[in-house]
């Protein structure tokens, strides 16, 4: 293009694809200054002003603030390259911190999104039958707590949230409550439990629990948590009818709950209990002999 000695703000805006508002702001803070004609005080830009615009855009692309750009553009520092190098190093560290924050946010959002999809599938298809599946859990953060039959306060758990912050971690995925006794859970007499949840940062060994892969009876409970004893009783009947023995310990995996909606009819909770089938090993052995 053919360059001129002077440009109006409109010409600079068109040539450099930048708004007049931005140009006026840059002029006010002294990053891209204008010249003025003596006889009418008319403001104009020079060719050098035009060349400053792509430089500013590039620094802005890298995330530098306007005050940081000023030092680079003016170049009046005693040791300009050392100053620029330090600024770039600090910017790299800042961007790495932001990148890690975004990574953690992505994990949290993605895990919650997956729970919403799971709940929709369960509700749309009214999935509430008992099945047996392989489950592996962990490592997860483990928090021992007294239980007074208040599920809401246990799921939205202030003590647990404070504990997570104290150990400098973050949680994601569903809250899982581990009850030591199926019988006590059905009878609403359980007085203690474990709160389990996946962490975003590595889980401290002294506070973690890992559930080795095992076969578990699984059943989705749809609706109010106050009626979950009915799902337990259904699982117990199913186990008797199909020759399974249920372990004493149970896990309740809160897919959607008070965190997601106040409508308890839309709650989805998966109940998991380890199962075994007495005599199954002998049956397999006899089958191998045939």
User: pLDDT of 12-39, one tens digit each?
Assistant: 999 999 999 999 999 988 888 888 765 5
pLDDT value, residue 286: 39
The tens digit of pLDDT for each residue in 60-83 reads: 999 998 888 877 776 666 777 887
Given pLDDT bands bounded at 50, 70 and 90, which one contains residue 1? low
Rounded to a whole number of angstroms, the CA Rg of the chain reads: 32
Q: Supply angle C-alpha 142, 168, 97, rounded to 5.
A: 130
- Domains annotated for the chain, with CATH where assigned, are 9-76 (1.10.1660.10), 105-283 (3.20.80.10)
Residue-wise pLDDT tens digits, 226-241: 999 999 999 999 999 9
Tokens 């560290």 -> residue:
93
Asked if 72 and 59 count as a contact pair (C-beta separation under 8 A), the reply is yes
DSSP-derived secondary structure letter, 167: T
What does DSSP say about strands 171-179 and 245-256: parallel, antiparallel, or unpaired? antiparallel
**pLDDT tens digits, one per residue of 104-136:** 999 999 999 999 999 999 999 999 999 999 998
Whether the Cβ atoms of residue 213 and residue 274 lie closer than 8 Å to each other: no
Say whether pLDDT at 212 is over 90.
no
**pLDDT reported for residue 40:** 63
């Amino acid at each position: 293009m053919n360059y001129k000695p002077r440009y109006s703000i409109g010409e600079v805006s068109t040539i450099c694809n930048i708004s007049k508002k931005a140009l006026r702001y840059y002029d006010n803070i002294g990053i891209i200054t204008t010249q003025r004609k003596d006889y009418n005080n008319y403001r104009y830009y020079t060719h050098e002003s035009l060349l400053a615009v792509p430089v500013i855009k590039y620094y802005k692309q890298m995330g530098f603030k306007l005050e940081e750009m000023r030092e680079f553009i003016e170049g009046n520092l005693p040791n300009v390259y050392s100053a620029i190098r330090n600024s770039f190093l600090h910017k790299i560290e800042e961007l790495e911190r932001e990148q890690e924050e975004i990574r953690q946010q992505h994990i949290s959002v993605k895990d919650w999104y997956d729970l919403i999809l799971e709940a929709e599938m369960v509700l749309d298809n009214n999935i509430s039958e008992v099945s047996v599946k392989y489950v592996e859990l962990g490592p997860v953060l483990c928090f021992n707590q007294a239980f007074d039959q208040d599920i809401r306060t246990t799921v939205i758990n202030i003590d647990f949230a404070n504990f997570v912050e104290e150990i400098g971690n973050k949680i994601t995925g569903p809250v899982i409550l581990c009850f030591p006794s199926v019988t006590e859970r059905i009878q609403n007499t359980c007085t203690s439990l474990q709160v389990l949840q996946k962490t975003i940062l590595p889980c401290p060994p002294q506070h973690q629990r890992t559930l080795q892969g095992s076969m578990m009876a699984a059943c989705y409970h749809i609706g109010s948590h106050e009626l979950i004893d009915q799902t337990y009783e259904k699982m117990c009947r199913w186990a008797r009818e199909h020759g399974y023995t249920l372990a004493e310990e149970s896990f309740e995996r809160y897919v959607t709950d008070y965190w997601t909606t106040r409508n308890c009819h839309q709650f989805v909770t998966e109940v998991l209990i380890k199962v075994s089938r007495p005599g199954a090993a002998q049956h397999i052995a006899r089958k191998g002999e045939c």
